[in-house]
């Protein structure tokens, strides 16, 4: 019998790229609905199809789902973060977990810098004003990016590209990452509290873990200069949304540019009411080029493992 690959969900029109890679390798692809099912429903489908491999975009692959697949050899994340996969359970069962860590470096860093420019130049604000029939250039409260300090939380691949692009605008750059010792020329490594207190713009590029949940809290936001901007293009759970709403409502933050929310796809009404909120629907990773690369490389990892080869991007390095 052919090895079965289960694609839990997908954030694109169809499964054609994944299907071509998987079926050309001689394997069978079973695809769930585009919108992610619940963890329990994913577990049920694993029990039904008994896959040798799982590919997942947003759907949660729980410990129960992994245990329900005795033939399972790999769980491949079609993305970077692993917060929707029970990695420890997979590791304990010698199931390889992979991701595609560098497919969207350009896109996410562009999104972060785009948010910063939209704020400094008032692009979203004035678009709303003009469309509402108000032509008021004298109301401009614009900023020169080169005079500002940008603080970056987390300093991996994407964050380094964001810093490189921001450097072209000649702004100051400080970073916080407990795993980084040498951030590079012109970039200062600092404590988290000092980063918040010195930054006009704070950009979140950190992964979501138990230690980073609500890392951006009321306490941390209160350290920022009045009128600053928070950007999150990483994971929603890193930021306390209620704290952001409070900071926007009080005017302590003049802007919050969020591509991700801890409640997504639901958006809190209190956040929608804030004129300083710039919101995009978790699309920072997306472009025509990045999606093709992501889907192809994610499926190719599955093929390698099912053929008995080593994956290129293992995320649980203790697996056999």
CATH of the domain at 224: 3.40.50.720
Together in a domain, 155 and 177:
yes
Q: Is residue 95 part of a domain?
A: yes
Residue 43 appears among annotated catalytic residues:
no
The per-residue pLDDT for range 79-109, each reduced to its tens digit, is: 998 999 999 999 999 999 999 999 999 999 9
Query: What pLDDT was estimated at residue 319?
Result: 46
The SS3 of residue 151 is: strand
Q: What average pLDDT is seen over the chain?
A: 96
> 232 lies in a domain?
yes
| Confidence at residue 134, expressed as pLDDT on a 0 to 100 scale | 95
Is the residue at 110 inside a domain? yes
Which is catalytic among the residues 125, 160, 235, 304?
235
pLDDT at 138 over 90: no
Read off the pLDDT band of 120 (50, 70, 90): very high
The pTM score is 0.90
Please check whether residues 142 and 236 belong to one and the same domain. Answer: yes
Look up the domain containing 49 and give its range: 4-103+288-306
Q: Residue range 118-142: average pLDDT? A: 93
> What tokens were used for 118?
């939209």
Residue reference for tokens 């992964």: 207
Q: Are residues 171 and 26 in the same domain?
A: no
Reply yes or no on whether 194 is catalytic.
no
In a domain, 46, yes or no: yes
DSSP 3-state of 11: coil
Q: Are residues 46 and 140 in the same domain?
A: no
Q: Are residues 145 and 266 in the same domain?
A: yes
What average pLDDT does the segment 152-174 reach? 97
Quote the number of domains for the chain: 2
Beta-sheet strands, E only, within the chain: 4-7, 28-31, 53-56, 74-77, 96-98, 149-153, 172-176, 188-189, 201-204, 228-232, 253-258, 277-279
What whole-number distance in Å separates Cα of residue 262 and Cα of residue 259? Answer: 11
Residue 318 lies in a domain: no
Indicate which residue of 23, 41, 106, 264 is catalytic.
Answer: 264
Both 98 and 134 in one domain: the answer is: no
Q: What are phi and psi of 240, to 5 degrees?
A: -80, 105
Give pLDDT, residue 318.
57
Domain boundary among the residues 279, 297, 315 is at: 279
Q: Do both 29 and 162 map to the same domain?
A: no
Residues 93 and 157 placed together within one structural domain of the fold:
no
Among the options 121, 143, 213, 282, which is catalytic? 282
Identify whether 282 is a catalytic site residue.
yes
Q: What are phi and psi of 225, to 5 degrees?
A: -60, 145
Do 191 and 119 share a domain, yes or no? yes
Examine the domain organization and report whether 113 and 54 are in the same domain: no
Q: Are residues 237 and 121 in the same domain?
A: yes
Same domain, 95 and 111: no
């Amino acid at each position: 019998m052919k090895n079965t690959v289960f694609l839990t969900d997908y954030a694109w029109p169809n499964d054609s790229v994944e299907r071509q890679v998987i079926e050309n390798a001689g394997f069978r692809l079973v695809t769930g609905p585009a919108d992610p099912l619940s963890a329990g429903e994913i577990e049920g489908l694993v029990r039904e199809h008994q896959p040798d491999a799982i590919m997942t975009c947003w759907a949660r692959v729980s410990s129960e789902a992994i245990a329900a697949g005795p033939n399972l050899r790999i769980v491949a994340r079609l993305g970077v973060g692993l917060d929707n996969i029970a990695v420890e359970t997979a590791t304990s069962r010698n199931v390889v977990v992979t991701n595609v860590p560098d497919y969207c470096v350009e896109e996410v860093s562009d999104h972060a810098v785009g948010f910063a420019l939209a704020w400094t130049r008032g692009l979203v604000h004035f678009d709303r004003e003009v469309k509402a029939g108000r032509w008021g250039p004298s109301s401009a409260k614009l900023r020169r990016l080169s005079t500002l300090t940008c603080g970056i939380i987390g300093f991996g691949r994407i964050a380094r590209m964001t810093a490189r692009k921001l450097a072209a605008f000649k702004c100051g750059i400080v970073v916080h990452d407990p795993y980084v010792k040498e951030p590079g020329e012109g970039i200062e490594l600092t404590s988290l509290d000092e980063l918040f207190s010195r930054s006009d713009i704070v950009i979140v590029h950190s992964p979501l873990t138990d230690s980073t949940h609500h890392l951006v809290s009321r306490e941390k936001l209160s350290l920022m200069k009045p009128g600053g901007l928070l950007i999150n293009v990483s994971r929603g759970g890193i930021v306390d949304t209620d704290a952001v709403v409070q900071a926007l409502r009080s005017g302590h933050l003049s802007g919050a540019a969020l591509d991700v929310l801890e409640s997504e796809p639901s958006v809190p009404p209190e956040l929608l009411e804030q004129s300083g909120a710039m919101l995009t629907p978790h699309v920072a990773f997306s472009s025509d080029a990045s999606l093709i690369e992501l889907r192809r490389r994610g499926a190719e990892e599955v093929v390698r493992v099912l053929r008995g080869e080593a994956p290129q991007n293992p995320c649980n390095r203790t697996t056999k």
